[in-house]
Chains A and B, each alone.
Chain A
Amino acid sequence: MSATTGPAPVRFRPTEHRVTFAGLLRSEWIKFWSVRSVVVTMAAAFVAIVGFGILLPFAVGSQLSSPEAAQQGIDATSVSLQGAQLASLIVAALGVIVIAGEFSTGMIRTSFVSAPGRLGVLAAKAIVLAVTVAVVLGVAVFLAFTIGQAVLNRNDAGVSLSDDGVLRAVLGNVALLVGVALAGLGLGALMRNSAGAICTILAALFVLPLLLLALPESWGGPTIREYYFANTTTNVISVTQNPEYLGVGAGLAVFAVWVLVLLGFGALSAKTRDV
């Protein structure tokens, strides 16, 4: 080997493969569908929505047609969409694992070296997640509603999409699923740890609302309950309205703020911290 290090005889001219946002979207799409746990989680959410959409109407079908049920305001739409509540917990976990899984395996280093601006990766991931959840689970929600109402109609208890507030409630369930998935993504980017972030978001969705019920009025309990993340969609996802919670428009807006704030913290953390 020679010890001389003269000037290089050739100067390498690379083909410039520029990173584009469309490219990042394609990349995230490939990533999303090429990890088994993500596909399985997605399938589980689908089955939960459609499965409960069929089972519950069978179980409550005859009670729903009774005059007592009508007086208590039991809602045919909600009965067929109960599965979306369970699915919202599943997609929260899904949102977490699509990002935290990259941090725990080291894949994030590849992602951030391929697109060192980092925020593009996160934005593309959020869009792919949101669109996939909206389309795939949107189909599940409409399927559950259609089958569920057909079952209820055997007792003449079903409703149709054209009935007052029904389509809005059905779409509200889709919005809930998309929002919760994005909240999971934000929390996953912030915490970088699947187990921790999943526990946190399940507690936020499931446990905290129950604890908030214990808050007395003198502590601002009703207001806190109204504006709390998991409670903002109470009236968005059902035809029957509960006056103790925010109305549809306000609820959806506050829910969106919660989701955007979580995504913002996640993006800030991803952008500024070492990986």
Chain B
Amino acid sequence: MIEAVGLRKVYGSKVAVEDLSFTVRPGIVTGFLGPNGSGKSTTMRMVVGLDRPTAGQVLVDGKPFAQAVAPLSTIGALLDAKAVHTGRSAHRHLQAMAATAGIPRSRVDEVVDLVGLREVARKRAGGFSLGMGQRLGIASALLGDPSTVMFDEPVNGLDPDGILWIRHLMKDLAREGRAVFVSSHLMSEMALTAEHLVVIGRGRLIADETVQSFIDRVHPRGVTVRSPQVQQLTDAVRGAGGSITPSGDGAFEVVGLTAEQIGDAARDAGVALHELTTVRASLEEAFMELTAGSLEYQAQGTGPAPTPSVPDEFSRTAKEVAR
């Protein structure tokens, strides 16, 4: 469990994080979302005490992490930058970590197997690919069987198999009752793993809510309807208390009624429906809308509210979630 209260971090004259409060609860995956440079990594470093907050505080299991008596069992962290001596083998790295808290050697072998690094465990970590480095970082994070895990951009550099594996891993860890805190700048990734979202932009909190309410709040739902009997449909919808507008291509968008209500109203009015689809804003769109004004590194000439152009893959995955 992580509780951040009024976190602020200033580097020189640059404010990286400003008045940030949120809670990461046990039993669920909490996504930490924000554009690149929005302060996610800084926040995570403050959680484990590597960076000192300029103001505010963050507690892990009720106390500052620096006071943890069993740090490796309190939080397992995979941070963005590599945190391994390049000249040391993965196995020795984990052994050195394990030794600090008397974690048995068998546990080292266990996590090495868990992340699939057995073949290369005796090789120097400096020669590892990005994906292997991430796996070693995850092994390090799980070594002490911690009650909270914190992963900064864990899918970076992983192949599709690895990505699938880490998604399952995070859900399993949460199901075991651990608090799971995972950052990403990819909405689609969060859509697939997280239940709760903490969204930041330019170091400030933008949203702290469930994935579903995040989408709902940003974009009211509509229903796309097609029918050959346009006039009867319009009457039926208005009669049932909804509003209907043409959305081009012969389709109409209905707001204020659920798909079920529209279907019932159409049946009662004897209207044939050719399409009845609930439309939800994709997580990607919701994200774009909320963070549009808070992008740290915006391309020159981009307006304050760019039209969300959502790649196919993203909108598809977000729709899957919405269902």
Within 8 A of B (CB), among A1-46: 1-5, 7-20, 23-24, 26-28, 30-31, 34-37
Which of the candidate stretches B66-74, B238-246, B286-294, B299-307 sits at the interface with the other chain? B66-74
B69→A18 contact, CB < 8 A: yes
C-alpha gap A106/B96 in the complex (Å): 15
In angstroms, how far is the closest chain A Cβ from the Cβ of B9? 9
Q: Which A residues touch B178, using CB under 8 A? A: 12
B147→A112 contact, CB < 8 A: no
In angstroms, how far is the closest chain B Cβ from the Cβ of A129? 15
Which among B69, B99, B147 is the interface contact of A26 at CB below 8 angstroms? B99
A37→B87 contact, CB < 8 A: yes
How many residue pairs between the two chains, A and B, have CB atoms under 8 Å in the bound complex? 160
In angstroms, how far is the closest chain A Cβ from the Cβ of B66? 4
A8-B28, A106-B81, A274-B45 as given contacts; A23 in contact with B99, CB under 8 Å: yes
A95 near B: Cβ within 8 Å? no
A8-B25, A14-B146, A274-B52 as given contacts; A27 in contact with B65, CB under 8 Å: no
C-alpha gap A11/B27 in the complex (Å): 7
B134 near A: Cβ within 8 Å? no
A113 near B: Cβ within 8 Å? yes
Q: Which A residues touch B210, using CB under 8 A? A: 3-5
Q: Which B residues touch A30, using CB under 8 A? A: 92, 95-96, 99
Which among B26, B50, B100 is the interface contact of A27 at CB below 8 angstroms? B100
A8→B88 contact, CB < 8 A: no
B85→A102 contact, CB < 8 A: yes
B79→A109 contact, CB < 8 A: yes
B70→A18 contact, CB < 8 A: yes
B82 near A: Cβ within 8 Å? yes
In angstroms, how far is the closest chain B Cβ from the Cβ of A132? 15
A131 near B: Cβ within 8 Å? no
Q: Which B residues touch A107, using CB under 8 A? A: 83-85, 88, 93
B59 near A: Cβ within 8 Å? no
Which of the candidate stretches A57-65, A114-122, A150-158, A213-221 sits at the interface with the other chain? A114-122
B26→A12 contact, CB < 8 A: yes
C-alpha gap A116/B100 in the complex (Å): 11
A162 near B: Cβ within 8 Å? no
Q: Which B residues touch A106, using CB under 8 A? A: 81-84
A105 near B: Cβ within 8 Å? yes
A10-B176, A113-B48, A114-B72 as given contacts; A17 in contact with B66, CB under 8 Å: no
A5-B196, A109-B79 as given contacts; A27 in contact with B97, CB under 8 Å: yes
In angstroms, how far is the closest chain B Cβ from the Cβ of A142? 30
Q: Which B residues touch A2, using CB under 8 A? A: 195
A110→B84 contact, CB < 8 A: yes
B140 near A: Cβ within 8 Å? yes
Q: Which A residues touch B77, using CB under 8 A? A: 113
C-alpha gap A16/B103 in the complex (Å): 10
A31→B50 contact, CB < 8 A: no
Q: Which A residues touch B27, using CB under 8 A? A: 7-11
B311 near A: Cβ within 8 Å? no
A275 near B: Cβ within 8 Å? yes
B211 near A: Cβ within 8 Å? yes
C-alpha gap A155/B66 in the complex (Å): 63
Within 8 A of A (CB), among B133-163: 140, 144-147
B321→A12 contact, CB < 8 A: no
* B: contact size bracket: 35 or more
Which among A20, A23, A117, A274 is the interface contact of B51 at CB below 8 angstroms? A274
C-alpha gap A16/B176 in the complex (Å): 16
A148 near B: Cβ within 8 Å? no
A17→B102 contact, CB < 8 A: yes
C-alpha gap A31/B144 in the complex (Å): 18
A101 near B: Cβ within 8 Å? yes
B85→A31 contact, CB < 8 A: yes
Q: Which A residues touch B147, using CB under 8 A? A: 12-14
Q: Which A residues touch B96, using CB under 8 A? A: 27-28, 30-31, 34
A112→B70 contact, CB < 8 A: no
In angstroms, how far is the closest chain A Cβ from the Cβ of B217? 12
C-alpha gap A106/B81 in the complex (Å): 7
A10-B176, A30-B96, A34-B96 as given contacts; A105 in contact with B84, CB under 8 Å: yes
B131 near A: Cβ within 8 Å? no
A12-B176, A114-B71, A114-B100 as given contacts; A105 in contact with B85, CB under 8 Å: yes
C-alpha gap A274/B16 in the complex (Å): 14
Q: Which A residues touch B213, using CB under 8 A? A: 3
C-alpha gap A11/B177 in the complex (Å): 5
A3-B211, A12-B147, A24-B100 as given contacts; A17 in contact with B84, CB under 8 Å: no
B43 near A: Cβ within 8 Å? no
| Binary interface encoding of chain B residues 37-81 relative to chain A, with 1 for a CB under 8 A from any of its CBs, else 0 | 000000001001111100000000000011111111111010101
A120 closest partner in B (C-beta): B100
A19→B100 contact, CB < 8 A: yes
A9-B27, A116-B49 as given contacts; A109 in contact with B71, CB under 8 Å: no
A20→B88 contact, CB < 8 A: no
Show 16 residue pairs from A and B whose CB-CB distance is below 8 angstroms, ordered by the A residue.
A1-B195, A3-B210, A3-B213, A11-B27, A16-B69, A17-B102, A17-B103, A18-B102, A19-B72, A26-B100, A27-B97, A30-B95, A31-B85, A31-B96, A34-B88, A106-B81
Question: What 11 new A-B contacts, CB under 8 Å, besides A116-B48, A116-B71?
Answer: A14-B145, A17-B101, A20-B100, A20-B102, A27-B99, A105-B82, A105-B86, A107-B83, A115-B71, A116-B68, A274-B51
